[in-house]
Amino acid sequence: MMEVNEHDTSQYNELIAFRLGEQEFCVDIMSVRDIRGWTPTTPLPHSPDYVKGVINLRGSVLPVIDLSARLGFRSTEPTARHVIIVTQVGSQSVGLLVDAVSDILTITSETIQPTPDVASELARCFMKGVLAIEGRMISLIGLDSVIAATHEGTGTLN
Amino acid sequence: MDTMAAIKQTFFQECEEQLAELETGLLAIESQQVDDDTINAVFRAVHSIKGGAGAFGLDELVRFAHTFETVLDLLRGSQIEAAPPLVKLMLRSSDTLADLVRYSRDGGEMDQARVGQLHDELMQVVNPVATPACAQSAEPHAGDDEAGGDDPEAFFPVTVTFDDLIGENSDDDGQIVFNVWFKPKPELYAKANDAAKLLRELRALGEADIACDRSDVPLLSELDPEGAYLAWNVRLVTSAGESAVRDVFEFVEFDCEIRIEAEPSVEPDFEFTPEPVAEIGPAEAPADSPAIPQAVLERLAEFAPEQAAKAAAPSAGASPAQQAQTTIRVDLDRVDRLIDLVGELVINQSMLAQRVTEAGIARLSDVAVGLDDLEQLTREIQDSVMAIRAQPVRPIFQRMSRVVREVADMTGKSVRLITEGENCEVDKTVIERLTDPLTHMIRNAIDHGLESPEERVQAGKPEQGVVRMTAAHRSGRVIIEVSDDGSGINRERVRSIAVDKGLIDADAQLADNEIDDLIFAPGFSTASAVSDVSGRGVGMDVVKRSIQALGGRIAISSRPGKGTAFTLSLPLTLAVLDGMVVTVAGQTLVVPLTAIVETLQPKNSDVHGLGETARVISTRGAFIPLIDVGRELGYRDCEADPVGSVAIMVESENRAQSALLVDGIIGQQQVVIKSLETNYGHVFGVAAATILGDGRVAVILDVDAIVAGSRSDPARSEGANRKRNAA
């Protein structure tokens, strides 16, 4: 982890890191509303494979996306050990199904490197960059593109 | 500035209420129910609008309202008669006033010529009798403080008369002596007003000698603890005018007896003590008064804060009789938040109940009994909260009377609108979204439904056509009917138009009601020329769609020569829905109860294949398409075995029946509708989602979409597959 300069917080971002299989990813902590254990979802008809369905989040209906499948990896067979990260972008909330939450990172924006070209095109549209932390590579996920693309996937009118 | 904007917004909200009041009153006058209360209410409404408008510098509005008010004042003073032409003029003026208010609020340019013309017509009513200025001074109450039209306070009719006019008694210093006799009624205290405060306010105006008149106080044994027995004589020497003195009692005018008399004597006489003086101390006054103990007052204030607030803030719209009914203004967002929370409470309660049952706790144990009570309470809370959103349909019915007037004028037909059931309550959202469809239906009824006066006379009907609009509650829904006594639907013509437009085949065999239903078909319009009235390129199909979007249904019935009736059946609220909970391929779904006609268990012999994939079920001699919900929603690939499943007969658009095949029925329950669109998006075949007793989400079927989808099955499932593959 990096040291935090108390006096200049605008330069620093806190991120939540999580694992999907062998790889590590992270999202901006400001867009995370909740982290909860896996609960069975209600599948939605005619939804793309990566939409696991919807769950009841304190009275509102929250769609859960299998992030692994969304990024073009294997789809997840969720167990009680899996985790749903509830994220919010704008007025919209979406749950991301991931293997496990691993870390909270504090980074400066300079630490973010551009996504290497080798990544698949699908993965690259959701990644805003990569971070090298203690010898690990962590990909930063752009939530807005995940949520926007989810919308397209449903073929909605709104 | 923000405060100003907020006050202005409140003003416009109040204007809407005043306008509604005005229209109600005028309509009552029109139907010959003229009484003083009605005329006063009408006058007050216009006066309040004028007053508020003056405070905001809305000069145009003030000018028109002033002239209108002048006419109403003549009416009030019985100087003119409420003859039909005058009432019509006043109704038109009320429409224009409403327009002026709306233009002042939303901006935009008013049709000056129309306002000017109406203004002139109103002036003509005024002029033969008196000039506006005379009319103003002829008002039987002290109207001087409002002459500028900038009195933002509501107007209250003054119930007392006084002999002397202001100024006559004033001496050189401008000091006037008033003798005020003030006797509160019990209502004054009941509204948490305090006589001492009023007296103190009076004293603030000048030198006051206050004497308590205890002559009416009975013996203790006869004393009503909530009665009011004290009166006060006040001799007030003040430089303030009579209106200022009167203003002190403005809020309590109806709750006390009061006489204010200016004394001819000029010199202030401080030694003047007509009766033993009881000095009114700030706190002792209520304690002094045996009528209402302070504790009672406080409790009253506690229990009825709204009433107290209401008494303090005059509502101009309410006539004295209605004042007991109090309202508060609440932001709609807050109400919706409350409704959401209560929805969650209901879910939580049923989850708890389910857990308790699962835990094997006996039905008669304390826990289970307590839960039953909780359930009942939750239901009651839910009902009460839903009732907050419920509003009477009256405003929209009133708006329709204006539509009727306008369309009648435009088409040259004489029309009478009869409304019934205005107090019927429906969810606010439903009401808001009813305006357009109802306007359209009314226009249609007058333009297409009613015949011209000559034709009516020929047909032996009264010259004046009748459009009837009724609202009623029926089995958890509200039924609104718009009917006319016109010629009914010309089926020959409807049919030939439908053939012309390619809606039906020329040799199609249609029953009468099927022909009637054709007018709901998109692109159908019977008017040979697109008239200014009901044209505009929209037809009844738009009406039908907007009603369906509200979860309602529309039906038509017509009798040649007798008239046509449209019946709307609408849900009372958009927040909850009665549903049948069913299982399909291991999933729990909710089918809206309104769509369901009946359920049955199909026998093997009932089900017949039709073509390659389609199946029908025979029931009562009819073959009805059988739709496998599980397959339709993509929950399973192969057709379910109808035996052991349940067929739900549903009625969709065009009253066509279909059978939905589901695995089993769990039960029937009221569910809270949750939007899927907020966080996800629209899903084919799904109307919304809900949360069931076990806390899990279940989808609510969109029956119409599923039925329509099954007809175009191959194309649609291909599309769905494509979507899936692309993703």
At A32, which CATH number? 2.40.50.180
**Closest CB to B683 among A49, A93, A154:** A154
Task: Compute the C-alpha angle A21/A26/A30, nearest 5°.
Answer: 145
Residue % of chain B over a pLDDT of 90: 4
pLDDT of residue B622: 81
User: What pLDDT does residue A101 have?
Assistant: 92
**Nearest-by-CA chain B residue for A49:** B724
Between B301 and B464, the higher pLDDT residue: B464
Inside any domain, residue A79: yes
Low-confidence ranges of chain A (pLDDT < 50): 1-9, 153-158
Residue A137 falls inside a structural domain: no
Residue B475: the pLDDT is 67
Q: List Cβ neighbours of B704 (8 Å cut-off, separation of 6 or more).
A: B548, B595, B652, B653
For residue B167, what pLDDT is reported?
A: 43
pLDDT, tens only, B135-160: 444 344 444 444 444 444 444 444 44
Q: Tell me the average pLDDT across B563-577.
A: 82
Report the pLDDT value the prediction gives residue A103, as an integer from 0 to 100. 86
Number of domains, chain A: 1
Interface of B with A (CB under 8 A): 340-341, 343-344, 347, 587-588, 632-635, 674-686, 689, 691, 695-699, 720, 723-724, 727
- Identify the H or E element spanning B362: none
Q: For position B712, what pLDDT does the model report?
A: 61
pTM over 0.90: no
- Superfamily (CATH) of domain B393-571: Histidine kinase-like ATPase, C-terminal domain (3.30.565.10)
In the prediction, which pLDDT does B523 show?
67
- Select from A41, A53, A156 the Cβ nearest to the Cβ of B682: A156
Q: Do A61 and B680 touch (CB under 8 A)?
A: yes
Contact flag B697-A42 (C-beta cutoff 8 Å): yes
pLDDT at B527 over 80: no
Q: Which of B54-58, B401-405, B481-485, B652-656 has the lowest mean pLDDT?
A: B652-656
Q: Please state at what angle helix B84-106 crosses helix B36-55, rounded to 10 degrees.
A: 30
Q: Which of B676, B697, B702, B703 to mutate to probe the A interface, most A CBs <10 Å?
A: B697
The beta-carbon neighbor of A157 closest among B682, B685, B723 is B682
> Quick one: pLDDT at residue A54?
93
Q: What is the mean pLDDT of residues B573-582?
A: 80
Q: What is the mean pLDDT of residues B588-604?
A: 86
Structural tokens at position B680:
């996800």
Give, to the nearest 10 degrees, the angle between helix B112-126 and helix B59-76. 30
The reply to whether A158 falls in a domain is no
- Indicate whether B214 pLDDT > 90: no
d(CA B20, CA B27): 11
ipTM: 0.81
Of B256-270, B384-398, B536-550, B661-675, minimum mean pLDDT range = B256-270
Q: How far is B344 from chain A (nearest CA, A)?
A: 6
In a domain, A126, yes or no: no
CA angle B372-B376-B377, nearest 5°?
Answer: 115
Asked if residue B105 lies in contact with residue B69, where contact means CB atoms within 8 angstroms, the answer is no
- Map residue B592 onto helix, strand or coil: strand
Class of domain B576-726: mainly beta
- pLDDT above 70 (res B318): no
What phi and psi, each to the nearest 5 degrees, are found at residue B288?
-60, -40
Q: In this structure, is residue A71 part of a structural domain? A: yes
Q: Counting one residue from A and one from B, how many pairs have CB atoms under 8 Å apart?
A: 101
A120 or B690, which is more confident: B690
Asked if the structure places residue A3 within a domain, the reply is no
The stretch B35-60 carries a mean pLDDT of 82
Confirm whether A27 is domain-assigned: yes
Is the Cβ pair B684, A45 closer than 8 Å?
A: yes
Domain boundaries, chain B: 2-154, 163-311, 332-390, 393-571, 576-726
pLDDT for res B128:
65
Cα–Cα nearest to B61, from B49, B71, B73 = B49
Which domain, by its residues, includes A84? 14-103+143-149
> Would you list the DSSP string of B30-78?
HTT---HHHHHHHHHHHHHHHHHHHHTT-HHHHHHHHHHHHHHHHHHTT
Residue from the list B587, B682, B691 with its beta carbon closest to the beta carbon of A56: B691
Task: Please determine, for residue B503, whether its predicted confidence score (pLDDT) is greater than 80.
Answer: no
Round to whole Å and give the CA distance between A115 and A129.
4
- Map B252-297 to HEC letters: HHHHEEEEEEECCCCCCCCCCCCCCCCCCCCCHHHHHCCCCCHHHH
At B531, the pLDDT band (50, 70, 90 cuts) reads: very low
B114-137 burial: b if 16+ Cβ within 10 Å, else e:
ebeebbeebeebbeeebebeebbe
| Tokens linked to A153 | 């996937």
Percent of residues, chain B, with pLDDT higher than 70: 79
Give residue for tokens 């006054």. Answer: B285
Domain B2-154: which CATH number of 1.20.120.160, 3.60.110.10, 2.40.160.210, 1.25.40.420: 1.20.120.160
**Structure-token pair, residue B600:** 């049955």
Which candidate, B86, B115, B83, places its Cα nearest to that of B99?
Answer: B115
The CA distance from B712 to B705, in Å, is 11
Average pLDDT over residues B693-720: 70
At residue B271, does pLDDT exceed 70? Answer: no
Q: With an 8 Å Cβ cutoff, are B720 and A46 in contact?
A: yes
Contacts of A156 in chain B (CB under 8 A): 677, 680-682
Share the mean pLDDT of chain B. 75
**What does the radius of gyration of chain B's CA atoms come to, in whole angstroms?**
33
C-beta atoms of B634 and A45 within 8 A: yes
Quick check: helix, strand or coil at residue A73? Answer: coil
Using an 8 Å CB-CB cutoff, list chain A residues near B676: 44, 54, 61
Question: How high is the pLDDT of residue B325?
Answer: 63
The three-state secondary structure class of B565 is strand
Subunit contact B686:A44, Cβ cutoff 8 A: yes
Task: Please state which of the ranges B289-293, B397-401, B431-435, B621-625 shows the lowest mean pLDDT.
Answer: B289-293
Q: Is B359 helix (H, G, I), strand (E, B) or coil?
A: coil
Distance CA(B445)–CA(B534), nearest Å, equals 9
For residue A94, is it within any domain? yes
Banded model confidence at residue B210, pLDDT cuts 50, 70, 90:
confident
Q: What is the pLDDT of residue B530?
A: 43
pLDDT of residue B313: 43
| pLDDT value for B240 | 77
Beta bridge partners of residue B71, listed in sequence order? none
